[in-house]
C-alpha cells in the first residue's frame, strides 16, 4: 500500500459549495428564464467605468501585470485617506483572506468566528491546520461575550464579519468598541466589510474601522469590489492594515495575484461614485420589496445591511429551494449553514422585476 500523498488536513476537509451555475440549471430544466439570486452578485451589471477601463487594457494582455499596482495603490489609498503602505490588494477579498491566513496560521493555532458566518475563514485556516472555534449567534446578533470568552493563548485570528454573511446583520458600535478593548493585542482582528459601501448608508453602521487600524496595528479591514461595483467576475479586493502586516501580506501567495483586467476595472470602478450610489439606492428599494412581501407571509428576517436577506419561512428550505429552482429562481437554502437553519433561506436583491418574479414563483410554489 502506498503512502497517503495528500496533505493531512485534506482528510476531513470540506471545500466551498458553490451555488449551481445558471448554465447547469438551464441544461437540467430546459428553462428560458433563470434568475440566479444565490451569490449576492450585483444584478444590474458591472460599473460602466470599469468596463471601459477593461476595454482599454485588452491590448496589453501580452504583458504581465504589475505585482504592485502602482497607480491603483495611490488612487485608492487617497480615496480611503490612508497611507499607501497600509493598502494590500488581492484577488478578491477572498484572495486577501487566503493571504492573511497564509501569513499567520501555524498548525494548532486557533481561530474564533461566529456561526454562521462567511465560510472562507474556516476553509482557509483549517487547510493550514488551524482549530476552528465557532461561536453560535445569540438571537439576531453576535454573542460577543462568548466570542471573547473563546479567546485563549492559542488564538491567532478573530474574525468579525460585519455585515455578516449569510445573515446580513452588523456588529454595533458598542460591540466593535468592546472587541477592540478586550481582544488581546497579539490576536489578529479581521473585520470583513465586503458590504461596506451598502452598509455605510445606515446611520447605525460603525464607520470607523480604518481608525481602528491606527490604534490597533494587528487589525485587518477587508473590502471588496465585487458586490457594490459589480465586478465579481474579474476578482479584486483589498485590505487596510498596519504597514508591518501589509508588507508581509504582499509577500505571500503568487507573485502576480491580480490580473491586468482586474486592476484596470478597479481603477475605473473607484471613480464611479454615481454607479455606486445608484446601486445602493436600488438595493434598498429591492430589499424593502422583499421585506414587505415577507411581512404578508409572517416570515421573520435578520435586519439586512447588505444586498441579501436571510429569512425564516418555517418551511423546509431545501424543498423551497428545489421548487424555486424548477421555476428558474436560484436561492441559497439555510441548511447549508447547518440543521439549525433548515427553515431559513438567503436571497440576493435584484431589480424590482426580478424581485417580483421571485415573489410570483414563490406564490406558485406555495399554492
Residue 314 neighbours by CB distance under 10 Å? 11
Q: To 10 degrees, what angle do helices 273-297 and 352-366 make?
A: 20
Buried b (16+ CB within 10 A) or exposed e, 15-48: eeeebeeeeebeeeeeeeebbbbbbbbbbeebbe
Q: β-strand 332-333 against 344-348: which pairing, if any? A: antiparallel
Phi, psi of 123 (to 5 degrees): -60, -50
3-state secondary structure of 215: helix
* Segment interacting with ligand PLP (CB under 6 A) among 92-100, 170-178, 286-294, 312-320: 92-100
| Residue 232 is a binding residue for ligand PLP (CB under 6 A) | yes
CB of 311 to ligand PLP, least distance (A): 17
DSSP string, 260-300: HHHHHHHHHHHT-HHHHHHHHHHHHHHHHHHHHHHHHHT-E
Residue 331 neighbours by CB distance under 10 Å? 23
3-state secondary structure of 363: helix
Binding mask 156-185 for ligand PLP (x = CB under 6 A): -----x---x--------------------
Residues 59-88 that bind ligand PLP (CB under 6 A): none
CA distances from 42 to 39, 46, 169, 174, 286 (A): 9, 8, 19, 31, 12
**Which C-beta is closer to ligand PLP: that of 110 or that of 192?**
192
Residue 132 neighbours by CB distance under 10 Å? 15
CB of 174 to ligand PLP, least distance (A): 22
Burial of 290 (0-12, 13-18, 19+ CB in 10 A): buried
| Residue 192 is a binding residue for ligand PLP (CB under 6 A) | yes
| Residue 304 is a binding residue for ligand PLP (CB under 6 A) | no
Closest CA to 29 of 330, 359, 362: 330
| Residue 57 is a binding residue for ligand PLP (CB under 6 A) | no
Residue least distant from ligand PLP (Cβ): 92
CB of 327 to ligand PLP, least distance (A): 26
| Residue 226 is a binding residue for ligand PLP (CB under 6 A) | yes
| Residue 118 is a binding residue for ligand PLP (CB under 6 A) | yes
CB of 97 to ligand PLP, least distance (A): 7
CB of 165 to ligand PLP, least distance (A): 4
| Residue 238 is a binding residue for ligand PLP (CB under 6 A) | no
Distance CA(80)–CA(87), nearest Å, equals: 9
CB of 297 to ligand PLP, least distance (A): 26
Residues 323-362 that bind ligand PLP (CB under 6 A): none
349: Cβ–Cβ under 8 A, 6 or more apart, which residues?
37, 43, 282, 283, 286, 287, 290, 307, 308, 309, 355
| Residue 94 is a binding residue for ligand PLP (CB under 6 A) | yes
| Residue 197 is a binding residue for ligand PLP (CB under 6 A) | no
**Which C-beta is closer to ligand PLP: that of 94 or that of 272?**
94
* Segment interacting with ligand PLP (CB under 6 A) among 46-54, 61-69, 211-219, 224-232: 224-232
CB of 144 to ligand PLP, least distance (A): 18
CB of 167 to ligand PLP, least distance (A): 10
| Residue 234 is a binding residue for ligand PLP (CB under 6 A) | no
| Residues at the contact surface with ligand PLP, assessed by CB under 6 A | 40, 92-94, 118, 161, 165, 192, 194, 224, 226-227, 232, 237
Amino acid at each position: 500500500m502506498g503512502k497517503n500523498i495528500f496533505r493531512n488536513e485534506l482528510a476531513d476537509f470540506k471545500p466551498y459549495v458553490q451555488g449551481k451555475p445558471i448554465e447547469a440549471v438551464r441544461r437540467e430544466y430546459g428553462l428560458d428564464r433563470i434568475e440566479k439570486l444565490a451569490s449576492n452578485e450585483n444584478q444590474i451589471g458591472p460599473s460602466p467605468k470599469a468596463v471601459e477601463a477593461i476595454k482599454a487594457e485588452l491590448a496589453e494582455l501580452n504583458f504581465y501585470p504589475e505585482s504592485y499596482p502602482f497607480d491603483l495603490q495611490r488612487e485608492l489609498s487617497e480615496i480611503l485617506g490612508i497611507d499607501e503602505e497600509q493598502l494590500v490588494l488581492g484577488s478578491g477579498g477572498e484572495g486577501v483572506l487566503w493571504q492573511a491566513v497564509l501569513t499567520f496560521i501555524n498548525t494548532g493555532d486557533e481561530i474564533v468566528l461566529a456561526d454562521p458566518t462567511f465560510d472562507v475563514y474556516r476553509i482557509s485556516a483549517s487547510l493550514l491546520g488551524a482549530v476552528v472555534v465557532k461561536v453560535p449567534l445569540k438571537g439576531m446578533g453576535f454573542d460577543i461575550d462568548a466570542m471573547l470568552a473563546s479567546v485563549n493563548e492559542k488564538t491567532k485570528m478573530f474574525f468579525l464579519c460585519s455585515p455578516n454573511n449569510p445573515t446580513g446583520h452588523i456588529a454595533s458600535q458598542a460591540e466593535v468598541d468592546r472587541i477592540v478593548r478586550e481582544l488581546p493585542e497579539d490576536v489578529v482582528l479581521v473585520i470583513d466589510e465586503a458590504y461596506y459601501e451598502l452598509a455605510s448608508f445606515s446611520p447605525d453602521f460603525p464607520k470607523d474601522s480604518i481608525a481602528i487600524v491606527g490604534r490597533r496595528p494587528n487589525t485587518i479591514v477587508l473590502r471588496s469590489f465585487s458586490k457594490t461595483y459589480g465586478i465579481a467576475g474579474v476578482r479584486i479586493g483589498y485590505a487596510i492594515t498596519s504597514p508591518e502586516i501589509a508588507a508581509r501580506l504582499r509577500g505571500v501567495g503568487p507573485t502576480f495575484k491580480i490580473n491586468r483586467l482586474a486592476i484596470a476595472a478597479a481603477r475605473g470602478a473607484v471613480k464611479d461614485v454615481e454607479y455606486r450610489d445608484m446601486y445602493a439606492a436600488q438595493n434598498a428599494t429591492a430589499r424593502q420589496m422583499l421585506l414587505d412581501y415577507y411581512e404578508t407571509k409572517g416570515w421573520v428576517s435578520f435586519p439586512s445591511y447588505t444586498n441579501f436577506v436571510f429569512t425564516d419561512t418555517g418551511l423546509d428550505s431545501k424543498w423551497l429551494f428545489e421548487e424555486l429552482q424548477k421555476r428558474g429562481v436560484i436561492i441559497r437554502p439555510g441548511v447549508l449553514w447547518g440543521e439549525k437553519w433548515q427553515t431559513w433561506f438567503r436571497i440576493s436583491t435584484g431589480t424590482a422585476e426580478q424581485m417580483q418574479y421571485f415573489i410570483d414563483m414563490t406564490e406558485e410554489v406555495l399554492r
